Amino acid sequence: MRILLATSELHPYSKTGGLGDMVGALAKYLAKQGHQVGVVTPLYRGILEKFTGIKRFEWLLAFPLGKEFVRGGVWTLQPQQNLTVYFVEQPRFFDRDGIYQGSSGDYDDNADRYIFFSKSVVNLARYLPLQPEIVHLHDWQTGLVPLLIRHQFETGGWGNRPRHCLTIHNLAYQGVFEAANFALSNLPQDYFTPATAEFYGSLNFLKAGLCTADQVSTVSPTYANEIGTPEFGCGLESVLSELQSPVKGILNGVDYEEWNTDANPHLARPYGVDDLQGKRANKLALQKQLGLFERADTPLFVNVSRLVEQKGADLQLEAVRSLLNLDIQFALLGKGDPLFEEGFSSLAASNPGKVAVTIGYDHALAHRMEAGGDFFVMPSRFEPCGLNQMYSLRYGTPPIVRDTGGLADSVTDARDDVGMVNGIKFREPHVGALQKALFKALAVYKDPATLRHLRRNGMRVDFAWEHVAARYESMYREMKARPLSTLIRHLDPAVHLTAKIAKNT
């Protein structure tokens, strides 16, 4: 198949979270399986300097953006056979310190930036020699692409347009802007209705994509079910319930060529499921690096995360603080809400040798923490998929997780299966529930045979991307097999009236 992916982040070129990891791995393994794959992503600051081999592509991007006319360019890289990355160049929009935000918060012109990017995706999808059969979009930044494709299909002669799907990586981030920003799309105002991009008077990128994509998916089966409920639907549960095809949940995978314990340049010593001795050496090396007391027998809890409420940063801060009178250690790598950054930093300052906090992100240190920790703490209030719990399993570091989304799908608790248990789950998003889970972990730590059982079970779980890519291939084939006429949804403004009624009652 000929497949074009579009994403605002792509590992290793740009990344703020799991989105970049997922799309990078999916593209890599689809190409390995013989598909012709392209990926469209912005050319952010520093990419050209950091990565050699990127070449200017003879391709001009020139679009109206409302009343303004904006030009851009394209650079390309072929990191492997069958895979081409198309970097969209527009210095005013993408040559910045951050991807979505600066020191004072989200960029004010994010609507302009990602409408231009979406128009670039459509232009490449229509005119590249690749002529993709499938356009696979990711998150709100590409949410207007299906509507733009539809407009060209209906008015611009794009008769054999590709099938398109939209994957939700986190429904909480929807790309909501003032309604006036819709004019930047240069689409007819008739498209700005409750059936498409309008959402309670605002422009909602993600909603536009949900309402017009041929297929919607998300990154775990449990999350696909959860987002249909008021608790997890973020106001879009009624929209999701009215889709023509059910949301598909496909659990993310792990790129074991990178995330492994036996051929990893970031680790102090290799180890494996049949030889766990190296894990002790990695723990001591991590303790030394972070300034913790070098005690192999003291349980070390670790976390690598964005410091936001979604990830349960507040729960973790309070739960760890309450246990520091015990013989434990805690290490954190992350950044996010300044209040949480300050809270964890203060905790480290008042508990030297027991708590280590690194604000920021360090890829090599993330590997060392996964390998050197005894337990990985991941108390997310909701989690579309999560990757760190999967990395932890492969590194023999049992995860402690809330029973939600992809965490529920990837971690096995003793209540699920005693023989296959590889982690600890708790249900309620409360400090007390997390505290109980941490005490369970301490009990496991005191029983070497049980701890070894959890570690080995986790290291044997197979989340290889070869399997995940095959599931996406199956979804693509299903989309291609459906007549185009059955995929085109009637954009009746009365659609979603139930959502409006529900909100106002």
Same structural domain, 110 and 247: yes
Which stretch of 21-25, 353-357, 487-491 has the lowest confidence by average pLDDT? Answer: 487-491
pTM: 0.91
Same structural domain, 302 and 213: no
Q: How many C-alpha atoms does 316 have within 13 Å on its Cβ side?
A: 31
Kindly state whether residue 44 falls inside one of the protein's structural domains: yes
Kindly state whether residue 264 falls inside one of the protein's structural domains: no
Same structural domain, 293 and 200: no
How far is Cα 229 from Cα 237, in angstroms, rounded to an integer? 6
The whole-number average pLDDT for the span 77-85 is 98
Same structural domain, 249 and 119: yes
Kindly state whether residue 181 falls inside one of the protein's structural domains: yes
Same structural domain, 216 and 188: yes
Which pLDDT score, from 0 to 100, does residue 492 have?
54
Same structural domain, 225 and 344: no
How far is Cα 124 from Cα 63, in angstroms, rounded to an integer? 13
Kindly state whether residue 175 falls inside one of the protein's structural domains: yes
Q: What is the pLDDT of residues 413-458, one digit of tens each?
A: 999 999 999 999 999 999 999 999 999 999 999 999 999 999 999 9
Report CA-CA distances (Å) from 424 to 372, 408, 412, 440.
18, 10, 7, 8
| Residue position matching structure tokens 């006319």 | 69
How far is Cα 71 from Cα 353, in angstroms, rounded to an integer? 54
The set of residues, in sequence order, having a beta carbon less than 8 Å from that of 463 and lying 6+ positions away, is 251, 252, 253, 254, 390, 393, 394, 410
Q: What is the pLDDT of residues 314-371, one digit of tens each?
A: 999 999 999 999 999 999 999 999 999 999 999 999 999 999 999 998 999 999 999 9
Same structural domain, 78 and 224: yes
Range of the domain at 325: 277-460
How far is Cα 186 from Cα 183, in angstroms, rounded to an integer? 5
Same structural domain, 185 and 330: no
Kindly state whether residue 6 falls inside one of the protein's structural domains: yes
Same structural domain, 228 and 140: yes
The set of residues, in sequence order, having a beta carbon less than 8 Å from that of 501 and lying 6+ positions away, is none
Which pLDDT score, from 0 to 100, does residue 489 have?
66
Kindly state whether residue 261 falls inside one of the protein's structural domains: no
Kindly state whether residue 268 falls inside one of the protein's structural domains: no
Element spanning 262, H or E: none
**Whether pLDDT at 156 is above 90:** no
**Whether pLDDT at 502 is above 80:** no
Q: What is the pLDDT of residues 359-370, one digit of tens each?
A: 998 999 999 999
Question: Contact, 44 vs 20, CB < 8 A?
Answer: no
User: In one letter, which amino acid is 137?
Assistant: L
**Whether pLDDT at 485 is above 80:** no
User: In one letter, which amino acid is 27?
Assistant: A
Same structural domain, 448 and 484: no
Considering only residues 183 and 242, tell me which one the structure prediction assigns the higher pLDDT: 183
Which pLDDT score, from 0 to 100, does residue 204 have?
98
Same structural domain, 401 and 477: no
The CATH number of residue 417's host domain is 3.40.50.2000
**Whether pLDDT at 109 is above 90:** yes
Question: Contact, 19 vs 10, CB < 8 A?
Answer: no
Kindly state whether residue 415 falls inside one of the protein's structural domains: yes
Which pLDDT score, from 0 to 100, does residue 103 have?
80
Question: Contact, 243 vs 177, CB < 8 A?
Answer: no
Which pLDDT score, from 0 to 100, does residue 503 have?
38
Same structural domain, 475 and 445: no
Structural domains counted in the chain: 2
Long-range own/partner contacts, residues 270-274 (CB < 8 A, 24 or more apart) = 271/371, 271/396, 272/459, 273/396, 273/455, 273/456, 273/459, 273/460
Q: What is the pLDDT of residues 267-292, one digit of tens each?
A: 999 999 999 999 999 999 999 999 99
